[in-house]
Amino acid sequence: MISYNEALRTKVDYRIVEIAQSSPSTEIKAILVLDTSPSDDVLKEISQVKIENVFSFMLTIKVRGKASDVARLGEKSFIRYIMLDEVISRTQDWS
């Protein structure tokens, strides 16, 4: 099971953390709220998930990927908060 520290839990929607702990390979869509403009360097750093939309004027990026990968993005210093947008598919049984 993946362990999430308290600092990470404050940056990641609790629903993403719960999904990542119980079924890490579940596909989700999430909205990343950034502290900085979504530059090319920022986009390269989050390339482990699929980038669906970039909203530069709102400092947000919409991504799609495994719940565990999306939750780990909370470790990045330029990310302010990660919100769950949609659960796409459950690829393994819930515990």
pLDDT in tens, 3-45: 567 767 789 999 999 999 998 999 999 999 999 999 999 999 9
pLDDT for residue 95 is more than 70? no
H or E stretch at 13: none
14, 49, 68, 78, 89 from 37: Cα distances, Å: 25, 18, 24, 9, 30
Structural domains of the chain, ranges and CATH numbers in brackets: 6-89 (3.30.70.80)
Q: What are phi and psi of 33, to 5 degrees?
A: -100, 125
> What is the distance between the alpha carbons of residues 58 and 70, in angstroms, rounded to a whole number?
20
